[in-house]
Amino acid sequence: MPYKNPSDRKYKNAAKYEDSPEQVKNREARNKARSELAKKGKVTKGDGKDVDHIKPLSKGGANTEGNLRVKSASANRSFSRNSDHTIKKNKPKNGAN
């Protein structure tokens, strides 16, 4: 159930966090990416799909079409898992520990 008033939220400082300049910038980038793909007909409102950045914006990725892809919400918001359902560990690409 959405909250009509931020003061109704059950946790402290939620409004302060959500209105921080960094979060506003991130939200604008996500919205821009989705609107770009919506214009091209790849996603529609309420379709249950997420627009994913192949290289995350936080790691220097761009908001260009070549860096965007459409994924299901569950696939985009979950961690990679092993066959025994444990979360995969991030391993360095060069094989060093």
Q: What is the pLDDT of residues 18-47, one digit of tens each?
A: 677 888 888 888 899 999 999 999 999 899
Q: What is the pLDDT of residue 2?
A: 59
Domain ranges of the chain: 6-76
The count of other CB atoms within 10 Å of the CB of residue 33 is 22
- Around Cβ 53, how many Cβ atoms within 10 Å? 19
Residue 42 phi, psi dihedral angles, 5° rounding: -85, -25
CA–CA distance, 2 with 15 (Å, rounded to integer): 14
Among candidates 74, 5, 64, which has minimal Cα distance to 29? Answer: 64
Q: Provide the whole-model pTM.
A: 0.60
52: nearest Cα among 71, 32, 31:
71
